[in-house]
Amino acid sequence: MHVLKNLKSHSLMKSSRRNFLQHSLLGTAGLGLGIASTSDVHAAPVPSAAEPELTQEIDVLVVGGGTAGVIAAIQAGRAGAKTLLVERGAQLGGAMTTGGVAFPGLFDAWGKQIIAGIGWELVKESVELDKGPMPDFSKVPQHHWQNQVFINQFLYVILAEEKCEQAGVQIAYHEFPQTVTKTETGWQVECIGFGTKRRVNCKQIIDCTGGAEVVGMLGFPRLREKERQPGSYLYMMGEAHDPGRNQIHRLYVYGAESTNSRTVTHANLTGRKSILEALRKKKGARLMHMQPETGFRESYRIDGETLITVNDYRSGKKFDDAICYAFYPVDLHTKSGVKPEPLKPGIVPTVPLRALIPKGSKNIIVAGRCVSSDRLANSGLRVQASCMGMGQAAGAVAALAAKAGSTPLEIPLKEIHDLLRKHGAIIPGDV
């Protein structure tokens, strides 16, 4: 009935529009201007406001196609789960590509590789295809950043898309969840994009939004500091950006916050304004490159089944449910800059599965910088290789839980470890 009404009013609109165009045509013809034809004028019927245009039944929904989300989705897909990856932006990679921080670390600690698997595969392939330099992990560098890897941010995006496609992962750009409702078998998620309303019925959600946005929508508690670490806007002034070879210029964006479209807009406007100021001060210099978005260091973290403290991190606590290693100095940026505090020789922190599970939740897991941790532990845990390790673990757990019709914490740890090893990951204790 409603549809009929819509169609009727639609054809009325169409005929009056056609009349208008015919009048215009006569008018313009009289003026000697030519318009070929109006026969291809169509307007799509407007769907009812509440109804989705697309409905999908899937196993695993990954929200956020950034550093962790790409790896989580590929792992879930490779493990046989029907996987959809929803990303609010226009490309994969998040902070690595859209933010421009194409310098992942650290895959090694104390002369050994400690994070491998899908993240490493993607990084290695992008360096090889780009003929870039590769650090030698058998050598302990003088400074931690010497073993970070320069990657070509543009190439990384395309390779990530290719690997998603090969793993059977469907990508939905320019979309984000609007509502998430619990169902008997998992979740019903209403996603919205421009011109798209997608209903997703899924068994498991992996929240890789950076700031645990889906966890927040569901009302699970999240942690956030009164004052966040500054973000940074990346650009190149005076010299060209040589992707995969050089570090990009950057300036701090104080108060940068990735939580919603208003705060992201504010950070981007502030960052770009500062670049303009810098350009005007640097007489004769040209702006050669600018990323599309601010890089955000910190927003919400989940309050998980376990919280990793800085003591756990600094002492390299081996959690009994560890699913990957992490390695980086404690690295807190403040108004006066940053002074990384390296870990003591031989220390390699681990990430427990329970730090990826929102306290009291079922059928949802997170990966990335929103891992349940105190602020100082998070300042080291948030780096890209560790986010990739967490992403792969979350993808494996979600795929197993979807298959078993259970929730992540019910999956035996051995099954998770076996699946991860099968896909090239390193489990704490393996090296």
Ligand X SMILES: Cc1cc2nc3c(=O)[nH]c(=O)nc-3n(C[C@H](O)[C@H](O)[C@H](O)COP(=O)(O)OP(=O)(O)OC[C@H]3O[C@@H](n4cnc5c(N)ncnc54)[C@H](O)[C@@H]3O)c2cc1C
Sites of contact with ligand X (CB under 6 A): 63-69, 86-89, 94-96, 99, 101, 103-105, 148, 176, 208-210, 213, 231-232, 295-297, 368-369, 382-384, 387
What residue has token string 């992490």?
326
Residues in the chain: 431
Minimum distance between the CB of residue 173 and ligand X, rounded to whole angstroms?
9
Q: How far apart are the first and last CA of the chain?
A: 66
Smallest separation (angstroms) from ligand X to the CB of 423: 18
Give the sign of the dihedral formed by CA 325, CA 426, CA 355, CA 78: positive
Least Å from the CB of residue 417 to ligand X: 22
Token pair recorded at residue 37: 């034809």
* 6 vs 56, beta carbon nearer ligand X: 56
Pick the closer one to ligand X by CB: 274 or 406: 274
Q: Per the structure block, which two tokens stand in for 232?
A: 């940074």
Torsion on CA atoms 372, 378, 382, 387, rounded to nearest 10: -30
How do 83-87 and 108-109 pair as beta strands?
A: unpaired
Based on CB atoms, which residue is closest to ligand X, 158 or 413?
158
From the CB of 338, what's the least distance to ligand X, in Å?
Answer: 10
Question: Residue 145 or residue 319: which is nearer to ligand X going by CB?
Answer: 145
Residue with Cβ nearer ligand X (13 or 56): 56
CA atoms within 13 A on the CB side of 361: 32
| Residue with smaller CB distance to ligand X, 420 or 429 | 420
Q: Give yes or no for a contact between 92 and 161, defined as CB atoms under 8 angstroms apart.
A: yes
Q: Which is nearer to ligand X, 68 or 400 (CB)?
A: 68
Q: Taking the CB of residue 105, how many other CB atoms lie within 10 A of it?
A: 19
The candidate with the shortest Cα–Cα distance to 98, out of 127, 133, 70, 129, is 70
Of 67 and 306, CB closest to ligand X: 67
Which residue lies nearest ligand X, judged by its C-beta?
Answer: 66
Query: SS3 sequence, 360-379?
Result: CCCCEEECCCCCCECHHHHH
Closest approach of Cβ 177 to ligand X, in Å?
A: 6
Whichever of 17 and 273 has its CB closer to ligand X, that residue is 273
What distance in Å separates the CA atoms of residue 90 and residue 174, rounded to the nearest whole number?
A: 6
Q: What's the rounded Cα separation, in Å, for the pair 198 and 341?
A: 46
Q: Smallest distance, Å, CB 92 to ligand X?
A: 7
For residue 265 the two structure tokens come to 């807009």
Work out how close the CB of 21 gets to ligand X at its nearest, in angstroms, rounded to a whole number: 40
Amino acid 139 reads K
| Cα separation, 214 vs 228, whole angstroms | 20
Residue 343 CB, shortest distance to ligand X, in Å, is: 15
- Smallest distance from ligand X to CB 404, Å: 26
